[in-house]
Structure 1
Amino acid sequence: MRKIILVGHGDGCIGMKKSAEMILGKQDHLVAIALKESESLNDYLKKVQTSVDEYKKEGYDELLLLADIKGGTPGNVATLLGKQHEYIHVIAGYHLAMILTACINNQISGHDLLEESNQMIQKII
Protein backbone atom coordinates (compact mmCIF):
# COMPACT_ATOMS: atom_id res chain seq x y z
CA MET A 1 0.00 0.00 0.00
CA ARG A 2 1.13 3.52 -0.75
CA LYS A 3 0.40 6.75 1.07
CA ILE A 4 0.72 9.99 -0.89
CA ILE A 5 1.87 12.95 1.18
CA LEU A 6 1.71 16.48 -0.22
CA VAL A 7 4.16 18.85 1.43
CA GLY A 8 4.22 22.54 0.70
CA HIS A 9 4.31 26.14 1.78
CA GLY A 10 1.18 27.38 3.53
CA ASP A 11 -2.22 26.06 2.56
CA GLY A 12 -1.36 25.32 -1.08
CA CYS A 13 -0.96 21.59 -0.50
CA ILE A 14 -4.20 21.51 1.49
CA GLY A 15 -5.99 23.18 -1.42
CA MET A 16 -4.52 20.65 -3.85
CA LYS A 17 -5.78 17.79 -1.68
CA LYS A 18 -9.23 19.36 -1.53
CA SER A 19 -9.25 19.84 -5.31
CA ALA A 20 -8.23 16.23 -5.91
CA GLU A 21 -10.99 15.02 -3.58
CA MET A 22 -13.53 17.30 -5.25
CA ILE A 23 -12.79 15.48 -8.51
CA LEU A 24 -12.19 11.92 -7.23
CA GLY A 25 -14.03 11.80 -3.92
CA LYS A 26 -12.43 11.12 -0.54
CA GLN A 27 -8.89 9.77 -0.84
CA ASP A 28 -7.84 8.02 2.37
CA HIS A 29 -4.32 7.47 1.08
CA LEU A 30 -3.76 11.19 0.31
CA VAL A 31 -2.70 13.65 3.01
CA ALA A 32 -1.35 17.20 3.05
CA ILE A 33 1.14 18.56 5.56
CA ALA A 34 1.45 22.34 5.30
CA LEU A 35 4.49 24.31 6.39
CA LYS A 36 3.31 27.20 8.53
CA GLU A 37 5.05 30.56 8.36
CA SER A 38 6.06 30.28 12.02
CA GLU A 39 7.69 26.84 11.66
CA SER A 40 11.41 26.28 11.30
CA LEU A 41 12.91 23.56 9.14
CA ASN A 42 13.44 21.44 12.27
CA ASP A 43 9.84 21.96 13.41
CA TYR A 44 8.52 20.94 10.02
CA LEU A 45 10.90 17.98 9.79
CA LYS A 46 9.61 16.68 13.13
CA LYS A 47 6.00 17.09 12.00
CA VAL A 48 6.53 15.25 8.72
CA GLN A 49 8.71 12.57 10.35
CA THR A 50 5.98 11.92 12.95
CA SER A 51 3.43 11.42 10.16
CA VAL A 52 5.81 9.16 8.21
CA ASP A 53 6.35 7.03 11.33
CA GLU A 54 2.57 6.78 11.92
CA TYR A 55 1.89 5.73 8.31
CA LYS A 56 4.62 3.08 8.47
CA LYS A 57 3.00 1.67 11.63
CA GLU A 58 -0.36 1.63 9.81
CA GLY A 59 1.12 -0.77 7.26
CA TYR A 60 1.98 1.48 4.35
CA ASP A 61 5.03 -0.02 2.68
CA GLU A 62 5.63 2.93 0.34
CA LEU A 63 5.33 6.67 0.80
CA LEU A 64 5.26 9.10 -2.11
CA LEU A 65 6.22 12.58 -0.94
CA LEU A 66 5.18 15.24 -3.44
CA ALA A 67 6.74 18.64 -2.72
CA ASP A 68 5.52 21.94 -4.11
CA ILE A 69 8.96 23.17 -5.20
CA LYS A 70 12.51 21.88 -5.19
CA GLY A 71 14.82 23.68 -2.80
CA GLY A 72 12.19 25.02 -0.41
CA THR A 73 11.83 23.81 3.15
CA PRO A 74 9.09 21.24 2.37
CA GLY A 75 11.11 19.89 -0.56
CA ASN A 76 14.28 19.77 1.51
CA VAL A 77 12.49 17.90 4.31
CA ALA A 78 11.05 15.42 1.79
CA THR A 79 14.49 14.92 0.23
CA LEU A 80 16.12 14.36 3.62
CA LEU A 81 13.52 11.74 4.56
CA GLY A 82 13.76 10.12 1.13
CA LYS A 83 17.51 9.72 1.58
CA GLN A 84 16.99 8.13 5.01
CA HIS A 85 14.30 5.61 4.00
CA GLU A 86 14.27 3.54 0.82
CA TYR A 87 10.47 3.18 0.96
CA ILE A 88 10.07 6.96 0.50
CA HIS A 89 10.03 8.39 -3.02
CA VAL A 90 10.18 12.15 -3.58
CA ILE A 91 9.04 14.28 -6.52
CA ALA A 92 9.20 18.09 -6.47
CA GLY A 93 7.00 20.39 -8.52
CA TYR A 94 3.61 18.73 -8.24
CA HIS A 95 0.47 19.84 -10.05
CA LEU A 96 -3.14 18.71 -9.80
CA ALA A 97 -2.97 16.34 -12.78
CA MET A 98 0.02 14.58 -11.19
CA ILE A 99 -1.82 14.17 -7.90
CA LEU A 100 -4.91 12.82 -9.67
CA THR A 101 -2.79 10.32 -11.60
CA ALA A 102 -1.04 9.15 -8.42
CA CYS A 103 -4.40 8.71 -6.67
CA ILE A 104 -6.05 6.87 -9.55
CA ASN A 105 -3.08 4.59 -10.23
CA ASN A 106 -1.64 3.77 -6.82
CA GLN A 107 0.81 1.33 -8.43
CA ILE A 108 2.47 3.80 -10.82
CA SER A 109 6.18 4.21 -10.17
CA GLY A 110 7.63 7.61 -9.38
CA HIS A 111 9.49 7.57 -12.69
CA ASP A 112 6.35 6.75 -14.70
CA LEU A 113 4.33 9.32 -12.74
CA LEU A 114 6.86 11.99 -13.63
CA GLU A 115 6.91 10.96 -17.30
CA GLU A 116 3.12 10.95 -17.56
CA SER A 117 2.76 14.21 -15.65
CA ASN A 118 5.26 16.00 -17.86
CA GLN A 119 3.16 15.09 -20.90
CA MET A 120 0.14 16.76 -19.28
CA ILE A 121 1.83 20.17 -19.34
CA GLN A 122 1.16 21.63 -22.75
CA LYS A 123 0.77 24.99 -24.39
CA ILE A 124 -2.82 25.16 -25.63
CA ILE A 125 -2.81 28.35 -27.73
Structure 2
Amino acid sequence: MRQIVLVSHGTMAEGLRRAAEMVFGSLPDVRHVCLSEDKGIAQFEAELSAVFEGLPGGEPVAVLCDVNGGSPYNTSLRLLEQMGRLETASVVSGMNLPLLLVLLMAEDSGRETVKAAIDGARDSIQMFEPRQEDEDEEL
Protein backbone atom coordinates (compact mmCIF):
# COMPACT_ATOMS: atom_id res chain seq x y z
CA MET A 1 0.00 0.00 0.00
CA ARG A 2 1.23 3.48 -0.83
CA GLN A 3 0.90 6.37 1.67
CA ILE A 4 2.49 9.76 0.99
CA VAL A 5 2.37 12.92 3.10
CA LEU A 6 3.71 16.23 1.74
CA VAL A 7 4.72 18.96 4.21
CA SER A 8 6.18 22.38 3.51
CA HIS A 9 6.55 26.04 4.31
CA GLY A 10 4.01 28.07 2.34
CA THR A 11 1.87 26.25 -0.22
CA MET A 12 4.56 24.12 -1.88
CA ALA A 13 3.09 20.83 -0.60
CA GLU A 14 -0.36 21.72 -1.90
CA GLY A 15 1.08 22.84 -5.23
CA LEU A 16 3.02 19.61 -5.71
CA ARG A 17 -0.08 17.57 -4.96
CA ARG A 18 -2.13 19.57 -7.46
CA ALA A 19 0.60 19.22 -10.10
CA ALA A 20 0.69 15.45 -9.55
CA GLU A 21 -3.11 15.31 -9.84
CA MET A 22 -2.77 16.86 -13.31
CA VAL A 23 -0.79 13.75 -14.28
CA PHE A 24 -2.52 11.01 -12.26
CA GLY A 25 -5.97 12.39 -11.45
CA SER A 26 -7.36 12.03 -7.92
CA LEU A 27 -4.76 10.97 -5.33
CA PRO A 28 -6.55 9.70 -2.21
CA ASP A 29 -3.32 8.22 -0.81
CA VAL A 30 -1.51 11.59 -0.90
CA ARG A 31 -2.10 14.15 1.83
CA HIS A 32 -0.55 17.55 2.36
CA VAL A 33 -0.09 19.96 5.27
CA CYS A 34 1.27 23.47 4.74
CA LEU A 35 2.84 25.76 7.33
CA SER A 36 1.72 29.26 6.38
CA GLU A 37 2.27 32.73 7.81
CA ASP A 38 -1.31 32.88 9.11
CA LYS A 39 -1.05 29.44 10.76
CA GLY A 40 1.10 29.00 13.83
CA ILE A 41 3.31 26.00 14.43
CA ALA A 42 0.80 24.63 16.98
CA GLN A 43 -1.98 24.54 14.38
CA PHE A 44 0.36 23.02 11.80
CA GLU A 45 1.39 20.34 14.31
CA ALA A 46 -2.25 19.55 15.15
CA GLU A 47 -3.15 19.20 11.45
CA LEU A 48 -0.13 17.02 10.74
CA SER A 49 -0.84 14.86 13.79
CA ALA A 50 -4.41 14.29 12.55
CA VAL A 51 -3.08 13.27 9.12
CA PHE A 52 -0.61 10.80 10.65
CA GLU A 53 -3.29 9.38 12.96
CA GLY A 54 -5.56 8.82 9.95
CA LEU A 55 -3.02 6.65 8.15
CA PRO A 56 -3.37 2.86 8.27
CA GLY A 57 -1.33 1.54 11.21
CA GLY A 58 1.74 -0.53 10.46
CA GLU A 59 1.88 0.56 6.83
CA PRO A 60 4.97 2.38 5.56
CA VAL A 61 4.57 6.09 4.87
CA ALA A 62 6.73 8.43 2.81
CA VAL A 63 6.85 11.94 4.26
CA LEU A 64 8.25 14.42 1.75
CA CYS A 65 9.46 17.73 3.19
CA ASP A 66 10.70 20.90 1.54
CA VAL A 67 13.77 21.69 3.68
CA ASN A 68 15.99 19.53 5.88
CA GLY A 69 15.87 20.83 9.45
CA GLY A 70 12.91 23.15 8.84
CA SER A 71 9.82 23.23 11.05
CA PRO A 72 7.75 20.88 8.83
CA TYR A 73 10.63 18.37 8.74
CA ASN A 74 11.36 18.55 12.47
CA THR A 75 7.67 18.40 13.38
CA SER A 76 7.19 15.33 11.19
CA LEU A 77 10.08 13.51 12.86
CA ARG A 78 8.89 14.41 16.35
CA LEU A 79 5.28 13.35 15.75
CA LEU A 80 6.23 10.10 14.05
CA GLU A 81 8.54 9.25 16.94
CA GLN A 82 5.83 10.07 19.52
CA MET A 83 3.38 7.84 17.63
CA GLY A 84 5.86 4.97 17.38
CA ARG A 85 5.81 5.18 13.57
CA LEU A 86 9.32 6.42 12.86
CA GLU A 87 10.57 2.90 12.02
CA THR A 88 7.99 2.50 9.23
CA ALA A 89 8.34 6.04 7.89
CA SER A 90 10.73 7.46 5.31
CA VAL A 91 11.16 11.18 5.96
CA VAL A 92 12.78 12.89 2.97
CA SER A 93 13.84 16.52 2.55
CA GLY A 94 14.23 18.34 -0.76
CA MET A 95 10.94 17.15 -2.22
CA ASN A 96 10.25 17.92 -5.85
CA LEU A 97 7.72 16.91 -8.49
CA PRO A 98 9.86 14.20 -10.13
CA LEU A 99 10.33 12.52 -6.73
CA LEU A 100 6.59 12.56 -6.08
CA LEU A 101 5.77 11.25 -9.57
CA VAL A 102 8.19 8.34 -9.22
CA LEU A 103 6.69 7.43 -5.84
CA LEU A 104 3.19 7.58 -7.31
CA MET A 105 4.18 5.00 -9.93
CA ALA A 106 5.35 2.62 -7.18
CA GLU A 107 3.11 0.12 -5.44
CA ASP A 108 4.29 0.89 -1.93
CA SER A 109 5.99 3.51 0.24
CA GLY A 110 8.63 1.23 1.72
CA ARG A 111 12.14 2.41 2.48
CA GLU A 112 13.76 0.72 -0.55
CA THR A 113 11.12 2.18 -2.87
CA VAL A 114 11.75 5.65 -1.48
CA LYS A 115 15.53 5.28 -1.82
CA ALA A 116 15.13 4.31 -5.49
CA ALA A 117 12.79 7.26 -6.06
CA ILE A 118 15.36 9.64 -4.55
CA ASP A 119 18.01 8.34 -6.96
CA GLY A 120 15.63 8.92 -9.87
CA ALA A 121 14.73 12.41 -8.69
CA ARG A 122 18.41 13.34 -8.35
CA ASP A 123 18.95 12.42 -11.98
CA SER A 124 16.06 14.69 -13.02
CA ILE A 125 17.83 17.85 -11.82
CA GLN A 126 19.66 19.21 -14.83
CA MET A 127 20.60 22.55 -16.30
CA PHE A 128 20.06 23.37 -19.97
CA GLU A 129 23.30 24.19 -21.77
CA PRO A 130 22.94 25.89 -25.16
CA ARG A 131 24.87 24.21 -27.91
CA GLN A 132 27.76 26.16 -29.36
CA GLU A 133 27.30 26.41 -33.11
CA ASP A 134 30.36 26.25 -35.32
CA GLU A 135 30.59 29.27 -37.60
CA ASP A 136 30.69 27.02 -40.67
CA GLU A 137 27.77 24.88 -39.56
CA GLU A 138 24.42 25.47 -41.25
CA LEU A 139 21.17 25.33 -39.31
Shorter-chain TM-score above 0.5: yes
**Distance in 1 between residues matched to 2:81 and 2:58, nearest whole Å:** 18
**Distance in 2 between residues matched to 1:106 and 1:75, nearest whole Å:** 24
Over 3 Å counting, the alpha-carbon distance change for 1:116 and 1:81 in structure 2 is: farther
Query: What is the number of residues matched between the two proteins?
Result: 123
Partner of 1:98: 99
5+ residue gaps, structure 2, are: 130-139
- Higher Cα radius of gyration: 2
Task: Give the structure with the larger strand fraction.
Answer: 1
Q: Report the TM-score, using the length of structure 2 for normalisation.
A: 0.78
Cα offsets for 1:39-70 (capped at 9, x unmatched): 333332221111111113xx671211100111
Aligned-pair identity in percent equals 24
**Distance in 2 between residues matched to 1:51 and 1:82, nearest whole Å:** 11
Structure 1 residue 82: Cα displacement: 4.2
List aligned pairs for 1:8-47, cutoff 5 A: 8-47=8-47
* AA at the equivalent of 1:117: A
**Distance in 2 between residues matched to 1:115 and 1:48, nearest whole Å:** 27
Partner of 1:71: 69
CA RMSD of aligned residues (A): 1.8
